[in-house]
Structure 1
Amino acid sequence: MIDSSAFQGKKAAYYTLGCKLNFSETSTFARLLQEMGVREAAKGETADLCLVNTCSVTEVADHKCRQAIHRMIRSNPGAFVVVTGCYAQLKPEHISAMDGVDLVLGANEKANLISILSERWSAVGNASDGHLHEHYSVKTKDINSFAPSCSRGNRTRYFLKVQDGCDYFCTYCTIPYARGFSRNPTIASLVGQAEQAVADGGKEIVLTGVNIGDFGKTTGETFLGLVKALDGVEGIHRYRISSIEPDLLTDELIDYCAQSRSFMPHFHIPLQSGSDTVLKLMHRHYDCSLFAGKIKRIKEVMPHAFIGVDVMVGSRGETPECFDETYAFLAGLDVSQLHVFPYSERPGTSALSIPYVVEEPEKKRRSRLLLDLSDRKFHDFYSRFVGSEAEVLFEKAKRGRAMHGFTRNYIRVELSPNDSLPELDNQLIKVRLGDFNHDNTSLKATLL
């Protein structure tokens, strides 16, 4: 039993970097602390506890993490500072040595955040400089805990963590080292969390994880089995699959989503490169032919589906010819948006042994070309639906501001301030889609 008396009346500040999974986990940490008597610090208040949930997907991400930690410490003098997440798992000694840091919790330990915090917070008084500088982490092979998370934070949509870790070990990636091997809870436990989200008023859930298509390694179940079970939860009107590897996006799953009650025509699929040469260097589990086949299958059964694609530019081995192949491949795909990431050297990855290096100016040039291509695809996709009717789940907006929400196929919609009423928040509303808004990020809508 954890003694909550040390938490009573305390104020906490949170900062999250990286993926949707991290945001979901931070939101869950905040809820658990709230149950212990800790409230979130209001703007301008000094927090007693600071939690920074970190990312380490690129060198830039590492730099942003260090900046965030320093900023938290400066803004909250005397606070007890906890750092967790991927950067914390990979560089625990470095972070714990930083001035003002108390606890660094790796991927296995963050599941026990509350109990560790209750034990160590009181020990600060014995520290020579007022901070503990302690770190707790295990080796990748020993990461086996699973921290459940189904939370919405300040958002309308819930984010349900269905899986953690990855067994793929792509040559450019540190995530398996930071998150451990693939593991998951049971379908029954996840259905229970979805049912609780319904009880709390949730209508849409995003399934998150590191490699969610790999669901079932721990329990002998399947991702398709999970999808079918969640589809039966009454009260959840929409599910979205945050990201799924193309080799794990089966035809059976695509076909099921096409006729499903609640799984939306919306997919996010990492490609990384449109060159088979580069995909082999990356140790990806598919080729361009398989990827193109998945896009074709989705569009056959869900012509209106939104498809987002991750693509990395400037990776080791990406010669000009390989980039040209990638550009041509993507230009010919019926996808809706590209998420473009410049390659970043990560210490300890096998990609460093690949001899061909792309210089930074060339990475930027290639990124710009693909971002321009993405803008055209995005505009073309949205344009197809101007003048049509759609159902939108609206999200809360400040009084006097435009409200936004998403259609079933992930078109962002903007409602004028005059029509934006508080009672529309978290409601599924029929609208007519108009032209683009001022910055081309949404379609303007009128209520029906």
Structure 2
Amino acid sequence: MENRKKVAFYTLGCKLNFSETSTIARSFQDEGFDRVDFEEIADIYVINTCSVTENADKQFKQIVKKALKHNDKAFVAAVGCYAQLKPEELAAVDGVDLVLGATEKFKITDYINDLSKNDMGEVHSCEIEEADFYVGSYSIGDRTRAFLKVQDGCDYKCTYCTIPLARGISRSDTMENVMKNAKEISQQGIKEIVLTGVNIGDYGKGEFGNKKHEHTFFELVQALDQVDGIERLRISSIEPNLLKNETIEFVSQSRTFVPHFHIPLQSGSNTILKKMKRRYLRELYADRVAKIREVMPHACIGVDVIVGFPGETDELFLETYNFLNELDISYLHVFTYSERDNTEAADMEGVVPMNVRSKRSKMLRGLSVKKRRAFYESQLGTHRTVLFEGENKEGYIHGFTENYVKVKTPWNPELVNTLHDIQLTKIDEDGIVRMDFVNVPG
């Protein structure tokens, strides 16, 4: 047993990456490796990269350094989106031994026969057209929530985005396999599943290269609602043009789907939306929000927005700000536009200076704080169910209600991974709803 090799993982980026890291980790465990924490000494460090955020590149170098600090003889592998887009760049980073692109990452154990360090990272990356098969994944991190991947890739051509270049065409898991994975998750005592993918509303397209829809996203939602043992299902992020009324109405009556939607907007200006090649205008977005509010007044609605896109004048930014200010939403995820190679937007005129981008970002982050506070206040006095998570943070345990209100109560390990009916009564100075006492049964 002494000779078992140890492997550690670091994930950058989205929920989808976390689900894929977990799947890759299980393949190592199947090959007889022991998984350890990234902060521990390991024989192999696998870094799952992201290309969406501006700092992903810088972060990668820091993480490699960190790994080699734990063990300077460790074998370091890079996988994921950035590894697909810029394999040579990652391979040139000091200490990197192996770089795997979109199709190779799930076969990583096939490439790790020899753990000796390389002078230069070895690259195995495909032409992205070859990424036309589907690998199902799910993550089990803390014991309360799992990310279940149902779809990968994207056929949209948004002018700022490298994801189609990094992940290939839109393709989906089979309904049977999604159900099988959901049941496996439920058998591990996990209470909540978050559905994830690149463009999950496009679910059903391209099962193994077949471009027609076998099933729709709505059918997937209906089927998952029947899985025994799962208390909660959450739709992570869905395009406004793919979030149909039938889905919203179903969620409002559902046994397990929670009233929480995260809907990318990206800009509140139709001029900018057209330049971005988004597939809707702001009027459709406002309709989606109004529909959710009509059938689920208490729902939480999160919004992605990009500031500083080329051509975003002060007037157009104010269109976005005012649109969001008037919209009945709950919080924002604000992204500062950053140029990406091989995207249309990188060559557009009207580049917004960095200091203006960061000022706009700050304004929208301030609006987000205001929106979240107003949403939490609207929930005071209501009865909700909270699912407590597994970490002790400064003497408190945290959890989320079904409609994504963050709640904290003094740390009690017996509360981990348990659901409780509570009344939301007060908001603490840090903006989190605080319960001074939660009953533990028995």
User: Is 1:393 matched up with 2:384?
Assistant: no
Equivalent in the alignment of 1:36: 31
Shift of 1:165: 0.5
- Aligned: 1:426 with 2:420: no
Deviation track 1:70-107 (CA, whole Å, cap 9, x = no partner) reads: 33233321111110011100011121222321211111
Query: 2:215 and 2:108 mapped to 1: Cα distance?
Result: 28
**What's 1:68 paired with?**
63
CA distance in 2, matches of 1:42, 1:111: 20
What is the distance in 1 between the residues matched to 2:399 and 2:437?
A: 13
Residue 183 of structure 1: aligned partner: 171
1:403 aligns with 2:391: no
What amino acid does structure 2 have at the position aligned with 1:294? Answer: R
- Offset at residue 270 of structure 1 (A): 0.3
Query: Which is further off, 257-266 or 380-389?
Result: 380-389
SS in 2 for 1:47: coil
* TM-score (structure 1 length as normaliser): 0.92
**Preserved contact between residue 425 and residue 433 of structure 2 (Cα < 8 Å):** no
Q: Which residue does 1:22 correspond to in 2?
A: 17
Which segments of 5 or more consecutive residues in structure 2 lack a partner in the other structure? 208-213
**2:41 matched to 1:50?**
no
Whether 1:204 aligns to 2:206 is: no
CA separation of 1:61 and 1:102: change in aligned 2, threshold 3 A: same
SS in 1 for 2:388: strand
Distance 2:244 2:342 in 1: 32
Query: Are 1:367 and 2:358 an aligned pair?
Result: no
Partner-residue secondary structure (3-state), 1:83: strand
Task: Tell me which amino acid in the other structure corresponds to 2:269.
Answer: S
**Distance of 1:434 and 1:37 partners within structure 2:** 50
Task: Give the superposition deviation at 1:344.
Answer: 0.2
Q: 2:93 aligns with which of 70, 92, 98?
A: 98
Give the SS at the match of 2:424: strand
Structure 2 CA distance for aligned equivalents of residues 438 and 276 of structure 1: 38
Which of 423, 428, 442 aligns to 1:437? It is: 428
Query: In structure 2, do the counterparts of structure 1 residues 155 and 24 end up closer, same or farther at CA, with 3 Å as the change threshold?
Result: farther
| Amino acid of the structure 1 residue aligned with 2:164 | P
Separation in structure 2 between the aligned mates of residue 406 and residue 17 of structure 1, nearest angstrom: 23
2:225 maps to: 231
Amino acid at match of 1:381: F
Aligned to 1:167: 155
Deviation at 1:308, TM superposition (A): 0.3
Shift in Å, 1:395: 1.1
Q: Any conservation in 2 of the 1:167–1:182 contact (CA below 8 Å)?
A: yes
Q: Is the 8 A contact 1:80 1:131 kept in 2?
A: no
Q: Is the 8 A contact 1:239 1:264 kept in 2?
A: yes
Contact 1:315 1:358 in 2 (8 A): yes
**Separation in 1, partners of 2:174, 2:329:** 33
AA of the residue aligned to 1:77: D
- Letter matched to residue 121 of structure 2: H
- Over the aligned positions, Cα root-mean-square deviation in angstroms equals 1.9
C-alpha contact (below 8 Å) 2:194/2:235 kept by paired residues: yes
Could you report, residue by residue, the CA deviation over 1:130-166 in whole angstroms, capped at 9, with x for unpaired residues?
4562111111212123222122123520110000101
Residue identity opposite 1:226 in structure 2: L
Query: Which consecutive residues of structure 1, in runs of 5 or more, have no partner in the other structure?
Result: none
2:108 matched residue in structure 1: 113
State the partner residue of 1:335: 329
**Displacement after TM superposition at 1:382 (Å):** 0.3
Cα distance change on mapping 1:319 and 1:46 into 2, 3 Å: same
Q: Which amino acid aligns with 2:435?
A: K
Map of 1:13 onto structure 2? 8
Question: Are the equivalent residues in 1 in contact too, given 2:268–2:319 (CA < 8 A)?
Answer: yes
Aligned to 2:211: none
**Change beyond 3 A, Cα 1:281–1:396:** same
Percent of matched pairs sharing the same residue: 50
After TM superposition, the score normalised by the length of structure 2 is 0.94
Cα distance between partner residues in 2 of 1:44 and 1:443: 32
Which runs of structure 2 are paired with 1:71-86 in the superposition (5 Å)? 71-86=66-81
**Is the contact between residue 431 and residue 445 of structure 1 (CA under 8 Å) also seen in structure 2?**
no
Q: Which residue of 1 aligns with 2:210?
A: none
Query: What is the distance in 1 between the residues matched to 2:433 and 2:234?
Result: 19
CA deviations 1:371-398 (Å, max 9, x no partner) are: 1111111000001122332211111234
CA distance in 2: counterparts of 1:218 and 1:52, whole angstroms: 28
Equivalent residues of 2:9, 2:37 under 8 A apart: no
Matches of 1:353 and 1:132 in 2, distance apart?
Answer: 32
1:329-365 superposed Cα distances (whole Å, 9 cap, x missing partner): 0011000001111100111110123211111111111
Residues 399 and 133 of structure 1: CA distance in aligned 2, closer, same or farther (over 3 Å): closer
Q: Which of these residues, 145, 156, 168, is aligned with residue 157 of structure 1?
A: 145
Q: Which amino acid aligns with 2:134?
A: F
- Counterpart code for 2:11: T
Give the residue type in structure 1 aligned to 2:98: L
Check 1:44–1:395 CA distance in 2 against 1; reply closer, same or farther (3 A cut): closer
Aligned CA distance change for structure 1 residues 252 and 38 (closer, same or farther; 3 Å): same
Change (3 A) 1:399 1:354: closer
Residues 1:276 and 2:270 are matched in the alignment: yes
Q: Quote the offset at 1:429 in angstroms.
A: 1.1
Instruction: State the alpha-carbon separation in 1 of the partners of residues 268 and 345 from structure 2.
Output: 18
- Aligned letter for 1:74? K
